[in-house]
Amino acid sequence: MNSLLQVPVESGKISPVLFFGTIGMIMLALALILFIIFHQRRVMRFQTKMQGMEAEYQKMLLRASIKLQEEERQRLAADLHDDAGPLLATARLYLNENLVNLDKAAQLQSIFNAKQIIDETIQLIRNISHSLMPPTLKNFGLESAVNDFFQKINNSGSVNANCKFHDYKTRLKPEKELITYRIIQELVNNILKHSNASFIHLTEHDATDKIILRLHHDGKGITQQEFIKFTRNKDGLGLKNIQSRLRVIHSDILYEEDTSHSFFKVTLEIPREEGEQA
Phi, psi dihedrals of residue 211, rounded to the nearest 5°: -110, 145
pLDDT tens-digit profile of 64-106? Answer: 655 666 667 677 777 777 778 788 888 888 888 777 788 888 8
Confidence of residue 7 (pLDDT cuts 50, 70, 90): very low
State the pLDDT at residue 3. 47
Please return the burial class of 195, using the count of CB atoms within 10 Å of its CB with bins 0-12, 13-18 and 19+: middle
In angstroms, the Cα distances linking 154 to 9, 149, 189, 200 are: 100, 9, 13, 9
Question: What SS3 state is found at 166?
Answer: coil
Name which of 47-51, 114-118, 221-225 the model is least confident about: 47-51
Domain 135-271, architecture per CATH: 2-Layer Sandwich (3.30)
State the pLDDT at residue 162. 93
Confidence of residue 4 (pLDDT cuts 50, 70, 90): very low
Write down the mean pLDDT value for the chain. 82
Domain limits of the chain? 75-132, 135-271
Instruction: State yes or no: pLDDT of 2 exceeds 60.
Output: no
Length of the chain: 278
CA–CA–CA angle 260, 265, 269 (5° rounding): 135
Q: Which whole number is the average pLDDT over 53-58?
A: 68
| Sequence-ordered alpha helix ranges (H) in 80-134 | 85-94, 104-132
Instruction: State yes or no: pLDDT of 33 exceeds 80.
Output: yes
Instruction: State yes or no: pLDDT of 218 exceeds 60.
Output: yes
Please answer whether residues 161 and 199 qualify as being in contact, where contact means their C-beta atoms are separated by less than 8 angstroms. Answer: yes
What pTM was computed for the model? Answer: 0.60
Instruction: State yes or no: pLDDT of 12 exceeds 60.
Output: no
Give the closest residue to 186 by CA, choosing from 135, 126, 249, 236. 236
pLDDT tens-digit profile of 113-169? Answer: 889 989 888 888 877 776 677 888 888 999 999 999 999 888 888 889 999 999 888
Share above pLDDT 70 across residues of the chain, in percent, rounded to a whole number: 83
Please answer whether residues 187 and 267 qualify as being in contact, where contact means their C-beta atoms are separated by less than 8 angstroms. Answer: no
Please return the burial class of 112, using the count of CB atoms within 10 Å of its CB with bins 0-12, 13-18 and 19+: exposed
Which DSSP symbol is given to 83? Answer: I
pLDDT tens-digit profile of 188-217? Answer: 988 988 899 999 999 999 888 899 999 999
Instruction: State yes or no: pLDDT of 29 exceeds 50.
Output: yes
Total Cβ atoms within 10 A of residue 97: 6
Beta bridge pairs of residue 255: 266
Tell me the pairing of strands 199-206 and 160-165: parallel
Spatial separation of the C-alpha atoms in residues 277 and 70, rounded to whole Å = 33
Total Cβ atoms within 10 A of residue 26: 10
